[in-house]
């Protein structure tokens, strides 16, 4: 990943078991710092310019404090258990992504790419929608009034892809290739759109007749 070579990464390990992540980051980051506890991580943050934290510690309160001093810092937490309460808190912290352990190389690279794109664009991963809906693009969580709105896998895939193309019309053909891998039927697409409108609000998803759909986020 070309962009990673310009960024400094701090890895906070509690048992050094995620060897794939350690090896990949050590080779590809501009500077790679490895510590084994949260206090040493603070010491590094106080003395070095860190762009991305990769942590095996799932300590939300700790990262709330880190965020106060580091508003642009990208945080990736590797954990075997991702609780709903943590997903809700992650929205408040922003720029915080959870990935499941054991960490696979493909997922690691995908997560890093998403973080770097957000970092380069100087934007948030949190999308504020109308009617008190909030979407966390990193963790693919839709929230309303501090409660998670449950989406099926296909609904979530569609929602994430369309938010990445916000306010632009996405053709049926592009939706088919990107979400259904070429196997989409019009009935399947309409079903997903219908359910999402029920779970959110009708004006969010606009049908462009004969062309495709658009997510209206403005």
pLDDT at 188: 98
pLDDT digits (tens, 9 = 90+) for 30-88: 999 999 999 999 999 999 999 999 999 999 999 999 999 999 999 999 999 899 999 99
Contact between 1 and 116 (Cβ < 8 Å): yes
Mutual orientation of helices 38-47 and 60-69 as an angle, nearest 10°?
A: 10
Q: Tell me the mean pLDDT in the region 20-32.
A: 94
pLDDT digits (tens, 9 = 90+) for 169-195: 999 999 999 999 999 999 999 999 999
Q: Tell me the mean pLDDT in the region 144-166.
A: 95
pLDDT at 106: 93
The burial of 122, by beta-carbon neighbours within 10 Å (0-12 exposed, 13-18 middle, 19 or more buried), is given as: exposed
pLDDT at 78: 94
Residues 163 and 127: their CA atoms lie apart, in Å, by 8
Copy the structure tokens of residue 111. Answer: 């997560």
Record the pTM.
Answer: 0.89
pLDDT at 168: 96
pLDDT at 19: 85
Domains of the chain: 2-124 (3.40.50.2300), 150-215 (1.10.10.10)
User: 3-state SS of 46-68?
Assistant: HHCCCCEEEECCCCHHHHHHHHH
Copy the structure tokens of residue 194. Answer: 């219908």
SS3 87: helix
The pLDDT of residue 2 is above 80: no
């Amino acid at each position: 990943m070309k962009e990673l070579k310009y960024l400094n990464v701090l890895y906070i390990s509690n048992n050094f078991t995620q060897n794939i992540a350690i090896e990949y980051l050590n080779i590809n980051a501009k500077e790679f710092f490895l510590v084994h506890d949260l206090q040493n991580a603070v010491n590094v943050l106080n003395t070095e310019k860190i762009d991305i934290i990769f942590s095996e510690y799932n300590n939300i309160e700790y990262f709330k404090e880190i965020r106060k001093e580091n508003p642009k810092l990208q945080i990736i937490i590797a954990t075997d258990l991702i609780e709903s309460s943590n997903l809700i808190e992650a929205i408040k912290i922003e720029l915080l992504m959870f990935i499941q352990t054991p960490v696979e190389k493909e997922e690691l690279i995908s997560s890093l790419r998403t973080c770097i794109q957000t970092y380069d664009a100087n934007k948030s991963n949190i999308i504020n929608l109308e009617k008190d809906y909030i979407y966390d693009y990193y963790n693919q969580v839709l929230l309303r009034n501090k409660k998670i709105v449950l989406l099926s896998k296909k609904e979530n895939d569609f929602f994430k892809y369309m938010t990445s193309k916000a306010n632009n019309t996405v053709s049926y053909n592009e939706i088919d290739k990107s979400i259904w891998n070429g196997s989409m039927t019009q009935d399947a697409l309409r079903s997903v759109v219908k359910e999402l409108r029920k779970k959110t609000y009708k004006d969010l998803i606009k049908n462009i007749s004969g062309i495709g759909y658009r997510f209206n986020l403005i």
